[in-house]
Amino acid sequence: MEALFSILIGFFFAAAVYLMLSKFLVRVLLGVVLLGNAVNLLLFTVGRLMREVPPIIPDGAGAQIGLTANPLPQALILTAIVISFSFFAFLLVLVYRAYQDLGTDNGNEMRVAEPEGEPLPPTGY
């Protein structure tokens, strides 16, 4: 089961990098979301997939007896989901406002600081 998740994580990372290298901001936004999901799945897989044994220490035992599920990756994933959702909401509003102001989501056409048709600045004194 962990091998299947490892392959899926590789596909998620590859697709996220492909989308983030695009010049369109909506694709970059989807790539960031996919990257966050890939990291969450990676944390989940590294923390071992053992649902059968809860992480409870019985009375009288000083430590865990045998293999149990690790609750730390689950807590990290819950925190990462909240953070990635707020980051996604911020980027979505940012991309929407940029589209409203500039009329495009193409990164190459958004070069307001370098307008086309303007003379180049002087290169020397």
* CATH code, domain carrying 89: 1.10.287
Is 4 strand, coil or helix? Answer: helix
Return phi, psi of residue 106, to 5°: -80, 125
Return phi, psi of residue 122, to 5°: -65, 145
Q: pTM value?
A: 0.74
Residue 93 sits in which domain range? 2-51+69-107
Number of domains into which the chain is organized: 1
**Sequence-separated (6 or more) residues with CB below 8 Å from residue 39:** 80
Q: Name the average pLDDT for the chain.
A: 85
Pick from 84, 88, 87, 56: nearest CA to 70: 56
Over the stretch 16-50, which tens digit does the pLDDT of each residue have? 999 999 999 999 999 999 999 999 999 888 877 66
